Copies of this chain bind each other. A is one copy, B any other.
């Protein structure tokens, strides 16, 4: 059975304010493959829009240049699948701008959902969020992902909900953000649970 989500679902890849390996607050650099991998994941799973968020104009221009090559330049002729995936990409300066764009499109303030390696009071199980996405038409969900060594504590605390760690019981939990997005989107919007009962 094909899973049909009723809610609008958005992804946001944030680069500020992040933590670096020394625990300092920084803006991280954009990674080329994040743009492509996450765009392709978003398109495959029917995510409505993928936002790359960076406070630096130079970094935003870089993302624009890379996606423009594939969308309008020779890249789109060479690889049409990549072009199509990037058509859902939007570049923003900060989280407020992302929320504003979602509000303009849907008339709703999105539920913001982060991921983290710890359990918080506002931790929401995957199945509970999935249920809401499948059932609530009047809902917009913005899934937020950090880069570098992750979001600052204040940013996480400002989110409405936090998803449980991907691998709570593992003694090693250092997935790339590209892998983390793929796994979380599959858990929330994937087909496996439906066509494939044990």
- B176, A36: Cβ atoms under 8 Å? yes
Q: With the chains together, A175 CA to B185 CA distance in Å?
A: 12
- Report if A136 contacts B (CB, 8 A): no
- A126, B192: Cβ atoms under 8 Å? yes
- B127, A179: Cβ atoms under 8 Å? no
- B164, A195: Cβ atoms under 8 Å? yes
State which residues 170-198 of A face B: CB under 8 Å.
170, 172-176, 178-183, 186-187, 190-193, 195-198
Q: With the chains together, A179 CA to B36 CA distance in Å?
A: 11
- A167, B179: Cβ atoms under 8 Å? no
Min CB gap A49→B, angstroms: 15
**Given A127-B197, A164-B195, A195-B168, A179–B41 Cβ distance below 8 Å?**
yes
Q: With the chains together, A198 CA to B85 CA distance in Å?
A: 31
Nearest CB in chain B to that of A43: its residue: B172
Min CB gap A167→B, angstroms: 5
- B186, A81: Cβ atoms under 8 Å? no
- Determine how many copies of this chain the complex contains: 2
Q: With the chains together, A169 CA to B127 CA distance in Å?
A: 20
Q: With the chains together, A40 CA to B21 CA distance in Å?
A: 17
- Chain B residues within an 8 Å CB radius of A33: 33, 176, 178
- A196, B126: Cβ atoms under 8 Å? yes
**Given A166-B186, A169-B191, A183-B182, A175–B125 Cβ distance below 8 Å?**
no
Which residue in B127, B178, B195 is a CB contact (below 8 Å) of A37? B178
Q: With the chains together, A138 CA to B129 CA distance in Å?
A: 38
Counting from the closest, the 5 A-B pairs by CB-CB distance are A179-B182, A2-B169, A127-B198, A37-B176, A81-B174
